[in-house]
A and B are shown apart, each in its own frame.
Chain A
C-alpha cells in the first residue's frame, strides 16, 4: 500500500459499504483506531436501528398511540430528538423523522405506483406535530406512527467516529459511511482529500463500485453528504420516483437529481442536502441562508456550484 494512501478498512454498517482510511500511523495503531471507530458506528447502529426490537426507537415505536406511555430517553437520544425537532421546525415540516411509515406504500423493488387511497391513509401518521416531546420523555400520539433516525443516524455515526479518531490523535483520516464523508485533517502530504460526487445517471450507480463522477470536491476538515434520486427508485412510464418523499404529500421529489453539501459536521451536511432535495426550486435560497458550499445536479443534469 502506498504510504500516501495510508491504510483503508472496509466494512458494512447501516446497510451501506463503509471505509475508514488512516494515514500517518503505523499499521497496528491504525487497526486499533479503526476498530474503535467501527465499534462506535456499530453502537449507534444498534441503538437506533428500527429492526432491532431492543433498540431505543423500537421501544418508542411500540408505545405509539398509548398516550399514557411516555418513554423516558437517555441524554444522547434526547439530544438527537431535539435535533429532529429543530430540523422539522427549521424546514417548515419538510424534514420529518416520522415519515418512515410512507415506506408501507412505496416499494422500490417493484415498478408500481401506490394508489392515492393508501397514501391518504398513511399521511395522518406522519408529522412531528403528532409527537409529544418534553425534552426528557416522548410519546407518539397516534397508533401506527413510527420514528426513524434514518435521516441523520448514519451522519451522526460519521461524526462520532471522526471525533473519536481526532481525540485519539489522528491527523490524517477519512471516514466514509455509504457516501457520507468526513475528513479528519488532510492527506499525509498536506493536500486535500478529493471526494468524488457520483454521476446520478451512471448506470453503474447501483453497484457502488467504480462509479463515474461528475465532479469532485476537495476536503481537509469537515464533511460532505449527498442526497440523490438514484439510491432507491422505480421508473414507471419513463418517470423516476425516488425514495426521498415529501412528508406532506407522500410523493417523491423530482427537482434535483442530487444535492451535495459541505458542512462543518456530517449531520449538518446530511440534513441540509436532504432538506434541499425536498425544497425543490427553493433549494438554492435555503442553502444560501445556511452559508454553506454546495453542488446541485438538476433534473436536466445541469450542475450548480456555490462556494460559500
Chain B
C-alpha cells in the first residue's frame, strides 16, 4: 500500500432504493445477489422496498365470575406502500363492533344491561426517507356515535454515521368531541398535546436497546359520562418511560425481547409493566412467539373503595352527603391492582408473498396481584381474552 496525494475517495454506488435514478449494471445485481457478500442491515432510515397489505380480525371478550361482559369484534385493513423509493404511505382502517353488558361496577345502569356500539377509526401516515433520517406526519380520525376524535402527529428520526444510534422525537395533538347518549354533558371537549424523545442504541451485534420518554398534557372532559358518580379533574398530565432490550441468541437463532414501562399521571395513578417475549423460528416458514406481561398499578387519588355514604347509600362515596369531595370515581380502571397476561403468536410465511399470523392472549386482573399488596378491596377478578387472525400479502 502506498500513500499518495489525496484524491477523492471512491464510494461505490450502493444498489439501494434511496438512489432511484442511479443505473445499476446487470453484473452488479448478479454479484449483490450472492449470499453474505454484503451486510443487510435494517436501517432506521431505509424506505420499505415492498408494499404490504394485510387484513386482520380481532376478537376481544372479557368476563367476571359468572358474567360475560363486553365482546368486541374488530376487522381491520392495513396498507403500506413505497413511493418512488423515498416515500412511504401507510393507511389503516378498523371497525370495532362492541356488544354485551355494560361494566358492572358502580354504573348508573346496574347489572347486565345490553349495549351495542360501533367505532370506525382510520389513520394515514406519510413518511419521507433521507440518507440517514426520516420524517413522518400522521393524521388519525375516530368516530363513534358519542365520541369523535381527530389527531395529528409529527415525528422524525436520525441515525448516526455508523447506524449504531438512532435518535427520535415526535409531537402530537388531538381534539376530542364528546356527546354521550344520556346527555349528561353536551359538546364536551378534550384537548391533548404530547411530546416524545427517544434513542435506540446497538450495544453489540446481538443487542439492541431503546429508551423513550413521553409527556402528555390533556385539558378538558375526562369523566366517564356513563358512570353516575364520576368527577375527575379537567387536566391530566402523563409521563411515560419505556426501556426495551432485544437480545439475539446466537446459539439457537432465537430473540428475547424484554421491556419495562413506567407510567405516572397527575390523577395519582402510577404503574409499572414488565414484558418478556421470546421469538422462536421453528423453521424458515414458521415462527412462534410466546409472551408474558405483568402490570401493577397504584390507584388514582380520588378513587374510592365500595364503602358508601351512610345517608344516601350506594353508589355514593362515604361523606358525599355531608362534605362531598371535589373529585371521585369508582372506575375499576383507576383502582389498585395487578394483572398478568399470557400469550402467544404464531406466524406462517406461506411463500415470498403471503403470510398468516394467529395471536392469542389471556389477561387476568386481581386486586391481590398488586406488587407489594394493598390492592383495592371489593372488586371481582377480571378476565379478558384476545384473539387475532391476520393475513398479509406483499406487492
Contacts and interface: CB of A to CB of B under 8 A. Distances in A.
Contact of A220 (B11, B27, B31, B33): B11
Interface in B14-59: 14-15, 22-28, 30-39
A213 B31 contact: no
Contacts of B30: 82-83, 86-87, 90
Nearest to B5: A216
B115 interface: no
Contact of B27 (A171, A186, A213, A272): A272
Interface string A74-90: 01100110110011001
Nearest to A268: B31
Contact of B10 (A82, A168, A217, A271): A217
Interface stretch (A49-57, A64-72, A259-267): A259-267
A83 B34 contact: yes
B28 A169 contact: no
A167 interface: yes
B162 interface: yes
Contacts of A218: 6-10
A192 interface: yes
Contacts of B6: 218
A76 B161 CA distance: 32
B37 A194 contact: no
Nearest to B6: A218
Interface in A213-228: 213, 215-224
Nearest to A211: B2
A97 B39 CA distance: 27
A133 to B, nearest CB: 15
A180 interface: no
Contacts of A224: 10
Nearest to A171: B162
Given A83-B30, A218-B10, A194 B35 contact: no
B12 interface: yes
Interface string B200-220: 000011000000000000000
A156 B1 contact: no
B33 A290 contact: no
Contact of B12 (A159, A192, A194, A264): A264
B184 interface: no
Nearest to A214: B2
A150 interface: no
Interface residues of B, number: 34
B152 to A, nearest CB: 39
A218 B11 CA distance: 9
A263 B28 CA distance: 8
A31 interface: no
A293 B10 contact: yes
A114 interface: no
A194 B1 contact: yes
Nearest to B2: A196
Contacts of A267: 31, 34, 37
B41 to A, nearest CB: 8
A158 to B, nearest CB: 9
Contact of B31 (A76, A163, A215, A263): A263
Nearest to B4: A216
A262 B37 CA distance: 15
A116 B377 CA distance: 101
Contacts of A215: 4
A168 B4 CA distance: 31
A76 B205 contact: no
B11 A221 contact: yes
A166 interface: yes
B31 A83 contact: yes
Contacts of B28: 263-264, 268, 290-292
Name, among B26, B30, B31, the residue most crowded by chain A CB atoms within 10 Å (CB to CB). B31
A110 interface: no
Contact of A264 (B2, B3, B14): B14
B352 interface: no
A268 B32 contact: yes
A82 B30 CA distance: 8
Given A75-B35, A267-B37, A290-B25, A216 B3 contact: yes
Nearest to A194: B3
B38 A194 contact: no
Interface string A178-202: 0000000010000011111000000
A76 B10 contact: no
B36 A222 contact: no
B12 A262 contact: yes
Contacts of B4: 194, 215-216
A87 B28 CA distance: 10
A95 B275 CA distance: 55
A82 B33 contact: yes
A121 interface: no
Nearest to B7: A218
Given A196-B2, A264-B13, A291-B13, A79 B34 contact: yes
A163 B13 contact: no
A290 B38 CA distance: 19
B25 A289 contact: yes
Interface in A248-266: 262-266
Contacts of A80: 34
Given A83-B31, A193-B1, A264-B32, A159 B38 contact: yes
Given A218-B7, A218-B9, A292-B28, 16 more contacts: A82-B30, A86-B27, A90-B26, A159-B34, A163-B37, A167-B205, A193-B1, A195-B1, A216-B1, A219-B9, A220-B11, A221-B11, A262-B10, A264-B38, A291-B24, A292-B25
Interface of B: 1-4, 6-15, 22-28, 30-39, 162, 204-205
Interface of A: 75-76, 79-80, 82-83, 86-87, 90, 156, 159-160, 163-164, 166-169, 171, 186, 192-196, 213, 215-224, 262-268, 271-272, 275, 289-293, 307-308
21 contacts: A75-B35, A83-B34, A86-B26, A156-B37, A169-B204, A192-B10, A196-B2, A216-B4, A217-B10, A221-B12, A222-B10, A223-B12, A263-B12, A264-B38, A267-B34, A268-B28, A272-B27, A289-B25, A290-B26, A292-B12, A293-B12
- List the 4 shortest-distance A-B pairs measured between CB atoms, nearest first: A290-B25, A222-B12, A159-B37, A268-B31
